[in-house]
Amino acid sequence: MKELPAIEGGVPVREKKIYYGHQYLDEADYEAVLDLLKSGDDLTCGPRIRALEEKLCRITGAKYAVAVSNGTAALHVACLAAGIGPGDEVITTPITFAASANCALYCGARPVFADIDEKTYNIDPESVRSHVTARTKAVVAVDYTGQSAKLDELLAICRQNGLLLLTDGAHSIGTKYKGRPTGSIADMTTFSFHPVKTVTAGEGGAVLTNDPTLYEKLLLYRSHGITRNPQWMEKEPDGPWYYEQVDLGYNYRMSDIQAALVLSQLDKLERFKARRKEITARYDAAFSAMEQLIVQEEIPESDTARHLYILRIRPEKLQIDRRGFFDALGAENICCNVHYIPVYYFPYYRKLGYEKGLCPKAEKLYEEILTLPLYYAMSDQDVEDVICAVKKVAAYYAV
Ligand SMILES: *Cc1c(COP(=O)(O)O)cnc(C)c1O
């Protein structure tokens, strides 16, 4: 890469740095947490957890919801409930946070990476189909950036091959697929309430399902493999105190303090979604007109509550590569990020035998993307600054 001069004038588009994501909390959120603390209600396994699970069912249309300590725990209990174990294979995408694949490893199974669709960047059902073997047990699709994966196509492949479809919906709370909310369609859907996500509990997560048996198993694995349900016990109860550990589970419970916060956050979900859509539309309009840039395409089936805004560059139309673009935006005080490094690039995965070249479209995407700021609390001026900086850098370094 040849040395390029700093952008002429040297004045950044904005003085104050802006980051790619940030939580939005208001008075109602503070009060919700304080109310709980003052109420004397249980701080765990209490009424806020039940209220959260009911609310998630109402929002998504799923029959059952299980609140857990974070999105990674949600993926882990979902894999356990799916019966995934040693010798099994789980198909997922490399363009995701590591947890979407790690959950298979936790269970002793092997993640298998299917390639992405080069336009939407979501897992490609045809690639999934080509990776199904006799050992495949489940597919973990990811609603990358909030856009729904192609659920009908994936469900068809899963039904034909006796697989369970899990969706990592860490990005997609509020999204609808063919008019139905994420959370009600796959066999299980997981959410994350980490502070960068659309709604936050500080840390938190949930699993949604319509299947009563999966629901019972999720409850079991969330809490040590212990049950108080006589139906699941091997012995007659010794007395009212009696419970049994019938499998090896974990303590993946969420506290009611976290539940109180995310309950209040969920009241703002429609506002959050609308603002995120608005910002996404403005970015798309500005960038689709520039030949140096590519915007993520959406399938018409997805009504997307966008969590991440991915800007893709066309390196052949620019004198700089992604790193150069990232640094140039940084010099404008637009602090980007990159989502994601293909999971199998990590040293841990390399030691397990995964090699570069598995998913060529995902690998090419990774070379060309950066994540622009996108969050509810961005002002119109912030959005204009980001657009102005991207246009400035793209135009300046155009070939
Ligand atoms: C954030 C995230 C997770 C993990 O969620 P945590 O709540 O941080 O454990 C899993 N998958 C994806 C795609 C994510 O973005």
CA of 252 to the centre of ligand 1 (A): 15
- Condensed to tens digits (0 to 9), the pLDDT of residues 325-343 reads 999 999 999 999 999 999 9
| Domain regions of the chain by residue span | 8-22+269-396, 27-266
Does the structure show a pLDDT above 60 at 1?
Answer: no
> What is the C-alpha to C-alpha distance for residues 95 and 244, in angstroms, rounded to an integer?
40
Q: For a pocket test of ligand 1, which of 194, 197, 258, 310 has the largest count of ligand atoms closer than 8 A to its C-beta? A: 194
142 touches ligand 1 (CB under 6 Å): yes
Segment holding 106, helix H or strand E: helix 99-106
Which one, of 103, 271, 117, lies nearest residue 199 by Cα?
A: 271
Grade residue 352 by pLDDT with cuts at 50, 70 and 90: very high
Angle at 131 between CA 129 and CA 132, to 5 degrees: 70
Q: Is the CB of 99 under 6 A from ligand 1?
A: yes
For the domain made up of 8-22+269-396, give the CATH fold: Aspartate Aminotransferase, domain 1 (3.90.1150)
Model confidence over 208-251: pLDDT tens digits?
999 999 999 999 999 999 999 888 899 999 999 999 999 999 99
Q: What pLDDT was estimated at residue 2?
A: 45
Residue 141, phi then psi, degrees to nearest 5: -85, 155
Domain 27-266 in CATH 1.10.357.10? no
Split at pLDDT 50, 70, 90, the class of 41 is very high
- Percentage helix, strand, coil, to 5, in the chain? 40, 15, 45
Separation of CA 20 and ligand 1 centre (Å):
16
Q: Do 8-22+269-396 and 27-266 have matching folds? A: no
Q: Specify the ligand 1 atom closest to the Cα of 75.
A: 10
Nearest-10 crossing angle of helices 256-266, 47-60: 30
Query: CA-to-CA distance for 273 and 61, rounded, in angstroms?
Result: 18
194 Cβ closer than 6 Å to some ligand 1 atom: yes
SS3 399: coil
Q: What is the DSSP annotation of 182-237?
A: TTSSSSEEEEE--TTSSS--SS-EEEEES-HHHHHHHHHHHBTTEE--GGG-SS--
69 lines ligand 1 (CB under 6 A): no
Which band of pLDDT confidence, cut at 50, 70 and 90, is reported for residue 11?
A: confident
How far does the centroid of ligand 1 lie from the alpha carbon of residue 242, in Å? 36
Q: What is the pLDDT of residues 313-327, one digit of tens each?
A: 999 999 999 999 999
Q: Does ligand 1 come within 6 angstroms of the Cβ of 100?
A: yes
User: How far apart are alpha carbons 52 and 67 in whole angstroms?
Assistant: 8
pLDDT digits (tens, 9 = 90+) for 97-108: 999 999 999 999
Q: Which residue among 168, 200, 261, 339 is best mutated to probe the pocket of ligand 1, counting the most ligand atoms within 8 A of its Cβ?
A: 168
- Indicate which residue's Cα is closest to atom 3 of ligand 1: 71
Mean per-residue pLDDT, 128-140: 98
Q: What's residue 8's pLDDT? A: 61
What does the mean pLDDT of the chain come to? Answer: 96
Comparing CA positions, the residue from 191, 122, 121, 180 lying closest to residue 150 is 122
Q: Which atom of ligand 1 is nearest to the CA of 70?
A: 7
**The model scores a pTM over 0.75:** yes
- Single out the residue of 369, 375, 373, 372 nearest to residue 95, CA to CA: 369
CB 97 near ligand 1, within 6 Å: yes
From residue 237, alpha-carbon distances to 55, 217, 230, 322 in Å are 33, 20, 7, 63
In this prediction, residue 224 carries a pLDDT of 98
Q: Is the CB of 122 under 6 A from ligand 1?
A: no
